[in-house]
């Protein structure tokens, strides 16, 4: 498979350009199910060691239903599939530009959870306009072993998030093992206490927030991804969910720029407007860089051809 690797604010994306599974045509959510049911070893071969790592997010480029879109894309990770991925969409934008398929300006991507508009502002800067984001439940308290009562909002930003009000540990790199453990406990407690997103959607991203380090930023975060790795970027879908919560609480005005720092100090700039249904249409800007272009090979007889684990 021909793949292009990039990172967006530190978080890696691997785009399958050629040689991936043929998922046929039709809506992207149906093609995602075909990927899951018939071609899951392609996901594990791409993401798992020895070709990848737990932190990597994969993106399979597909023929879009609407030919005016730049591409269709299905995101996946070490444990399964993602509805949307903000940093990954920026990685896809920069990868499509690297391939010469798009130039600066406005474009659209089809994803399993809806259409995402994006703007390539230059070779490495992308602004995405995410699917509508909203706060589903406010100030939900959950009892967490070792942490006590943890309170947060449940919000949709293309994935389901628990947006915790406070972080149990300092939001810095040396605390990522403790933050990861704490977020895993919150995730397990939500599951055990049957607290979910709308229609029973699993809350598989846990977001801790705290004050920023840079004087011009508004907040710093730590985001636990579904497969146990933490997001090195401030998380595009998480930043969208956060802005939807701030909007619902009347704490941030439409059109104002929110600067979100990640736990490693990289940043996204975001702003929102409300649509007719009162949901937040969040635009998130970040920077992505190509890190490699390669052919992934599976040799006959390789016991780890589909990855380890």
* 237 binding ligand PYC? (CB under 6 A): yes
Tell me how far apart the alpha carbons of residues 160 and 198 are, in angstroms, rounded to a whole number: 9
Using DSSP's 3-state secondary structure scheme, residue 127 falls into strand
Q: Is 225 annotated in the active site?
A: no
Report the nearest approach of ligand PYC to the CB of residue 305 (Å).
26
Opening angle at CA 87, ends 33 and 35, nearest 5: 15
Helix-, strand-, coil-residue percentages of the chain, each rounded to 5? 20, 35, 40
Q: Is the dihedral of CA 238, 239, 242, 243 positive or negative?
A: negative
Q: Is the peptide bond before 50 cis (omega within 30 degrees of 0)?
A: yes
Token match 């991507």: residue?
109
Query: CB of residue 110 vs ligand PYC: minimum separation in angstroms?
Result: 16
Query: What does the chain come to in residues?
Result: 309
- Say how far apart CA 63 and CA 225 lie, in whole Å: 27
Does residue 261 bind ligand PYC (CB under 6 A)? no
Binding mask 48-77 for ligand PYC (x = CB under 6 A): ---------x--------------------
Q: 58 or 194: whose CB is closer to ligand PYC?
A: 58
State which of positions 7-36 bind ligand PYC (CB under 6 A): 11
Least distance in Å: CB of 25 to ligand PYC?
Answer: 26
Single residue of 47, 56, 73, 85 touching ligand PYC by CB under 6 A: 85
- Tell me how far apart the alpha carbons of residues 234 and 236 are, in angstroms, rounded to a whole number: 7
**Structural element, H or E, at residue 282:** strand 280-295
**Minimum distance from residue 72 beta carbon to ligand PYC (Å):** 17
Match 């453990």 to its residue by tokens.
181
Q: x/- site string to ligand PYC, residues 215 to 234, per CB under 6 A?
A: ----------x-----x-x-
**CB 64 to ligand PYC: min, Å:** 20
Using alpha carbons only, what angle is made at residue 67 by residues 95 and 241, rounded to the nearest 5 degrees? 60
Contact 163, 153 (CB under 8 A): yes
Q: Output 121 or 304, the one with its CB closest to ligand PYC.
A: 121
Does position 86 interact with ligand PYC (CB under 6 A)? The reply is: yes
Is 236 a binding residue for ligand PYC by CB under 6 A? The answer is yes
Q: Which of 62, 69, 225, 235 is catalytic?
A: 235
Active site residue 245: no
Where does this chain touch ligand PYC (CB under 6 A) — which range of 25-33, 83-91, 134-142, 189-197?
83-91
| Residues within the interface to ligand PYC (CB under 6 A) | 11, 57, 85-87, 225, 231, 233, 235-237
* Residues with catalytic roles: 85, 235
């Amino acid at each position: 498979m021909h793949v292009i690797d990039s990172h967006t604010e530190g978080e890696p994306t691997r785009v399958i350009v050629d040689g991936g599974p043929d998922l046929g045509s039709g809506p992207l959510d149906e093609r995602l199910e075909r990927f899951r049911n018939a071609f899951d070893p392609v996901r594990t071969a791409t993401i798992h060691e020895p070709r990848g790592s737990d932190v990597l997010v994969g993106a399979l480029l597909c023929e879009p239903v609407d030919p005016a879109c730049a591409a269709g894309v299905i995101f996946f990770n070490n444990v399964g599939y993602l509805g949307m991925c903000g940093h990954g969409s920026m990685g896809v934008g920069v990868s499509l530009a690297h391939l010469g398929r798009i130039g600066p300006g406005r474009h659209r991507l089809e994803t399993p959870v809806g259409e995402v508009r994006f703007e390539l502002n230059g070779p490495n800067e992308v602004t995405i306009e995410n699917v509508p984001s909203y706060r589903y439940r406010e100030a939900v308290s959950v009892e967490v072993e070792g942490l006590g009562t943890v309170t947060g909002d449940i919000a949709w930003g293309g994935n389901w998030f628990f947006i915790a009000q406070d972080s149990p540990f300092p939001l810095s790199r040396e605390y990522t093992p403790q933050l990861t453990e704490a977020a895993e406990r919150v995730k397990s407690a939500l599951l055990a206490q049957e607290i979910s997103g709308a229609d029973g959607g699993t809350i598989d991203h846990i977001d801790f927030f705290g004050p920023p380090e840079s004087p011009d930023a508004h907040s710093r975060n730590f985001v636990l991804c579904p497969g146990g790795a933490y997001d090195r970027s401030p998380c595009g879908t998480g930043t969208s969910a956060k802005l939807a919560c701030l909007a619902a609480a009347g704490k941030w005005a439409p059109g104002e720029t929110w600067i979100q720092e990640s736990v490693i100090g990289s940043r996204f700039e975001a702003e929102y407007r409300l649509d007719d249904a009162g949901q937040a249409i969040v635009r998130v800007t970040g920077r992505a860089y190509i890190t490699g272009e390669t052919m992934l090979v599976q040799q006959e007889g390789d016991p780890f051809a589909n990855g380890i684990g």
